[in-house]
Amino acid sequence: MSSAMKLQERVIVPRTAWKLADIFILCLLFALLSCRVLSLGEGGAGAASVAALVCEAWFTFVWILNMNIRWNPVRFHTYPENLSQRMDGLPAVDMLVTTADPELEPPLMTVNTVLSLLAMDYPDVDKLACYVSDDGCSPVTCYALHEAARFAGLWVPFCKRHGVGVRAPFMYFASRPEPELAGDNFSDEWTFIKSEYDKLVSRIESADEGSLLRDDDAGEFTEFMEAKRGDHPGIVKVLWDNSKSSRTGEGFPNLVYVSREKSRKHDHHYKAGAMNVLARVSAVMTNAPIILNVDCDMFVNNSQVVLHAMCLLLGFDDETCSGFVQVPQRFYGKLKDDPFGNQMEVLREKLFGGLAGLQGIYYLGMGCFHRRKIIYGVAPSSSAAIKHEREGSRSYEDLRTKFGASVELVESARNIYSGEIPPSPMIDISSRIQVAKQVSSCNYETDTHWGQEIGWSYGSMAEDILTGQRIHSSGWKSTLLDTNPPAFLGCAPTGGPASLTQYKRWATGLLEILLGQNSPIMATVFKRLQFRQSLAYLVFYVWSMRAPFELCYALLGPFCLFRNQSFLLKASNHGFSIQLALFLSYNIYNFVEYMECGLSARTWWNNMRMQRIVSISSWLLDFLSVVLKTIGLSKTVFEVTRKDKSTSDGDPSTHETDLGWFTFDSSPVFILVTTVAILNIATIAIGVWRHAIMCFGWMILYFWPFIKGLVGRGRYGIPWNVKLKAWVIVVAFLYFCRGD
């Protein structure tokens, strides 16, 4: 392909000044460790000094890991206009959506996600299909999607006829069109479509499970009659089959509802299990060579995202360079100044670009385009030797062992392995419903390789990161797709408990990987994971392990005050100067990063504060729970994060007036942070001690939301049972400090 018609371009991002700053801070860390060791050798080997040395050594290790990931950032530019000569040959795409709980993830939210997917730009809609997994087995969700399919007949043509940019109706109709764009015909049509959408919203929000089942004269919800959320047969419904559309090439993509079979006797593996069912159902129906998966709370914000992804999937001479294409997560309706530190702006701008310069960005669990064959465990060097194999041969039997007993699934897998994929789906998907139910049964995976060598990986609540690591360990690389406007937009938690729950779930899954059989270091030694990429995985895997060290460091000030000791180095050997220089340098470094990303000083402070809060709450609780699970005393529980209701009510601006305030409940995640806040108040009250007043004052600022929570009321006050437990720990700590 000539350079003039290139589909993608890899651009190195210059970073010389930042590299010098990285090295400077690293030198300060080593100098601090040297001074600490010298002070111990001079007779200052108190318990506090030894603890400080261990913690500072850990902080140095974490800094080295972060330096590795930031060192060689790159970005990819895509040129979808150069696909014009290849439009007929573009591969088909199966779009997979997952939802788990109709209460925490309102059906209207899922409907907007699905409608935005159905309205995406692609040369041939027959090459697109959307599959929705409903792990809540909710007739309301099924009804909502059925109604969405009817509305899509109006919405999709409207979007394409007028070049609508944002194709999620709730977001599009949140504002009136520009006057210069709103001609008489357009205004009338806009008003009509909005009216139809408002009717759709009303029908969905007024629907309830009881009335749907009670008034089901057409028998559309018969399969839900005896269904219980955790125990029911598989349900597969084709809500729209575009092959039956009156005009070929028009209409909108196929839409299929799936609620996998569940039994209390079988482990369902959370989201990973749902994704594997969707992979199998889509394989026996449309078997597209490319899979896009999104969460139910994110919508398409750039209608050409699939074309941009194709530039990266097809634009390399060696497909190994783009095993999967990951879109970074961005959010809509963001709270000002990111009060809960979960918008991840700097993480996306600084770390993801650095990952792209290594073996590639992690798989983030949503907004990702996979080659189906890498989900099936195909290594880059694998040959297509299966394409001439017949039933009964060794290779065919190997596929049955891996993929299960379904003849249709094995045949579809063989087509993927061999590359013999028809240009567009040729079958009537409605004729495959029984086959789809077979491969969605709860015991289908027994004695197969699903969840191990093929599909989404089991063994961690962070199934996305683990699956991506398995792909990288096979030798594949991944690419980062960051378009303007952003490809997808999702919603972030907008309250204290939801934010901390989300961090806890992420950290739990990551630590499970690190302490399990899937360590990235072992993958480097025995597989094809590059060494620097394995260190990049460790940056996130050690989230929870940071908690004990940060808690210890946070307690050193109060401990030393009550024991009449000091963990700060003396000014006589320049130790205190080094500590002060390190404190200033690190904070200035982070502050400049936020400024460079176009963020406010308040955003920087909120994120710095939340890092400390999350570490001593979510990460510490996760660390303890995973350790207990490892020794067999507990088990981890998957928690669905409650989505903001404003994402589904048709108006993204209808937030509560007090969003951004920290709210509390009786969760144990708040106990230790409350304890540390009380301890630092106590140390300030007792009196000033050498230089430590700066430490205590800084800690007070970090935990200010919890200090306000101690005197707050209602949702904004820390519950009395949490305060009581925190005071018990404070008293125990003070008693410990009385030791000899």
Catalytic one of 338, 464, 622, 644:
464
**Residue found under tokens 């290849």:** 86
pLDDT at 178: 63
Mean pLDDT to the nearest integer, 625-644: 64
What's phi and psi for 309, nearest 5 deg?
A: -65, -40
CB atoms within 10 A of CB 89: 10
Enumerate helices (H) and strands (E) in the chain, giving the number of each: 27, 12
Q: Is-contact 30 22, C-beta < 8 A?
A: no
* 735 pLDDT more than 90: no
Question: Known binder of ligand: residue 622?
Answer: no
Mean pLDDT to the nearest integer, 51-72: 94
Mean pLDDT to the nearest integer, 556-581: 79
Mean pLDDT to the nearest integer, 285-296: 95
Q: Measuring CA to CA, which residue among 44, 39, 19 is closest to residue 579?
A: 39
CA distance 670 to 665: 8
CATH number at residue 212: 3.90.550.10
CB atoms within 10 A of CB 573: 13
- In this predicted model, what pLDDT tens digit does every residue of 393-413 receive, in sequence order? 547 788 889 999 999 999 999
Q: Measuring CA to CA, which residue among 132, 140, 115, 303 is closest to residue 196?
A: 115
* 249 pLDDT more than 60: no
Write the DSSP assignment of 555-594 as a string of letters: HHHHHHHHHT---SPPGGGTHHHHHHHHHHHHHHHHHHHH
- In this predicted model, what pLDDT tens digit does every residue of 681-711 receive, in sequence order? 888 777 555 455 666 777 888 888 888 888 8
Q: Between these two residues, 567 and 53, which has the higher pLDDT value?
A: 53
pLDDT band at 199 (very low <50, low <70, confident <90, very high): very high
pLDDT band at 1 (very low <50, low <70, confident <90, very high): very low
**Residue found under tokens 């005050």:** 561
pLDDT band at 356 (very low <50, low <70, confident <90, very high): very high
CB atoms within 10 A of CB 349: 18
Out of 86-90, 324-328, 406-410, 482-486, which region has the weakest mean confidence (pLDDT)? 86-90
Out of 27-41, 171-185, 440-454, 603-617, which region has the weakest mean confidence (pLDDT)? 171-185
Domains contained in the chain, number: 1
Question: Known binder of ligand: residue 651?
Answer: no
One-letter amino acid for residue 283 of the chain:
A
Mean pLDDT to the nearest integer, 644-657: 46
Question: Known binder of ligand: residue 402?
Answer: no
Residues 6+ apart with CB under 8 A from 79: 6, 7, 8, 9, 311
pLDDT at 502: 79
pLDDT at 392: 52
* 646 pLDDT more than 50: no
Q: Is-contact 493 644, C-beta < 8 A?
A: yes
pLDDT at 659: 62
Q: Is-contact 108 296, C-beta < 8 A?
A: no
User: 265: which 2 tokens?
Assistant: 């006797």
Question: Known binder of ligand: residue 241?
Answer: no
Q: Is-contact 299 472, C-beta < 8 A?
A: no
pLDDT at 3: 52
CA distance 496 to 340: 7
627 found inside a domain: no
CA distance 626 to 635: 8
704 found inside a domain: no
pLDDT at 688: 55
Helix (H, G, I), strand (E, B), or coil: what is residue 36?
A: helix
CA distance 472 to 538: 14
464 is catalytic: yes
* 656 pLDDT more than 50: no
pLDDT at 653: 44
Range picked from 436-440, 495-499, 609-613 for highest mean pLDDT: 436-440
Q: Measuring CA to CA, which residue among 81, 77, 111 is closest to residue 97?
A: 111
Its domain, for residue 472, covers 80-377+389-495
User: 574: which 2 tokens?
Assistant: 């320049």
CA distance 663 to 106: 22
Question: How far is CA 500 from its chain centroid?
Answer: 14
- In this predicted model, what pLDDT tens digit does every residue of 13-49 receive, in sequence order? 999 999 999 999 999 999 999 988 888 876 656 788 8
Burial 147-185 (b: 16+ CB within 10 A, else e): bbbebbeebbebbbeeebebbbbbbbbbeeeeeeeeeee
pLDDT at 650: 45
414 found inside a domain: yes
549 found inside a domain: no
- In this predicted model, what pLDDT tens digit does every residue of 367-383 receive, in sequence order? 999 999 999 999 887 54
Out of 24-33, 647-656, 727-736, which region has the weakest mean confidence (pLDDT)? 647-656
135 is catalytic: yes
Q: Across-strand partners of 96?
A: 131, 293
Mean pLDDT to the nearest integer, 552-568: 82
* 360 pLDDT more than 90: yes
Taking each helix axis from N to C terminus, what angle separates 575-596 and 601-614, rounded to the nearest 10 degrees? Answer: 120
Q: Is-contact 357 73, C-beta < 8 A?
A: yes
CB atoms within 10 A of CB 675: 24
Q: Measuring CA to CA, which residue among 557, 551, 578 is closest to residue 30?
A: 578
Out of 58-72, 427-441, 499-513, which region has the weakest mean confidence (pLDDT)? 499-513
Residues 6+ apart with CB under 8 A from 129: 92, 93, 94, 95, 253, 254, 255, 256, 282, 285, 286, 288, 425, 429
Q: Measuring CA to CA, which residue among 282, 449, 444, 438 is closest to residue 370?
A: 282
CA distance 381 to 474: 9
CA distance 407 to 201: 41
Catalytic one of 22, 101, 135, 482:
135
Q: Across-strand partners of 132?
A: 97, 257
Q: Is-contact 279 375, C-beta < 8 A?
A: yes
Q: Between these two residues, 555 and 502, which has the higher pLDDT value?
A: 555
Out of 36-50, 114-128, 469-483, which region has the weakest mean confidence (pLDDT)? 36-50
Q: Measuring CA to CA, which residue among 224, 173, 164, 176 is closest to residue 199?
A: 173
Q: Is-contact 470 457, C-beta < 8 A?
A: yes
User: 212: which 2 tokens?
Assistant: 């749907």
Task: Say what percent of the chain tops pLDDT 90.
Answer: 51
pLDDT band at 647 (very low <50, low <70, confident <90, very high): very low
pLDDT at 633: 64
Taking each helix axis from N to C terminus, what angle separates 184-206 and 139-162, rounded to the nearest 10 degrees? Answer: 170
Out of 144-158, 420-434, 650-664, 714-728, which region has the weakest mean confidence (pLDDT)? 650-664
* 664 pLDDT more than 60: yes
Burial 438-455 (b: 16+ CB within 10 A, else e): bbbbbebbeebbbbeebb
Q: Between these two residues, 423 and 293, which has the higher pLDDT value?
A: 293
User: Exposed (0-12), middle (13-18) or buried (19+): which is 478, by Cβ within 10 Å?
Assistant: buried
| Mean pLDDT computed over every residue of the chain | 86
Q: Go through the chain and tell me how many residues it has.
A: 740
